[in-house]
Structure 1
């Protein structure tokens, strides 16, 4: 069974992007959050990527409703 990339309703701290990525790749949400925070110390477009994922990743409720 393939896991869809969605933003779940439970476990969110802000938008649910880190939790969605953690579930998709079967890892800890805390680890994804920590990696994101550490990546902010490096130059790059981390915040832009986060915002794009926030817009593009569907909410879990909407994803489940449109499956059927």
Structure 2
């Protein structure tokens, strides 16, 4: 059985900053707003999770949709 899935790309339409969370949400079929809230909460609550640094790295590594 062949399973085709969408590639991981930054969203051009579902974005707050760079489209990283919107792209991840689309790739896995999740709600992007809920994922944003979870990401921010985990970043604030957990001192061991460098949320801003992780976001910046993903921004650099994940290609933009349509490029």
TM-score tier after normalising by the smaller chain length: 0.7 to 0.9
- Give me the whole-angstrom Cα distance separating, in 2, the residues matched to 1:46 and 1:11: 19
Structure 1 gap ranges (5+): 63-68
CA RMSD of aligned residues (A): 0.9
Aligned to 1:60: 65
- Give me the whole-angstrom Cα distance separating, in 1, the residues matched to 2:17 and 2:25: 14
Q: Following superposition, which runs of at least 4 residues in structure 1 exceed 3 angstroms of deviation?
A: none
Mapped pair 1:16 → 2:19: yes
Aligned to 1:51: 56
Hey, which of these two has a bigger chunk of helix by percent?
Answer: 1
Structure 2 gap ranges (5+): none
1:25-67 deviation per Cα after TM superposition (whole angstroms, max 9, x unaligned): 11000011001110122112221111110000101110xxxxx
Aligned length: 62
Please report the TM-score for the alignment, with normalisation by the length of structure 2: 0.84
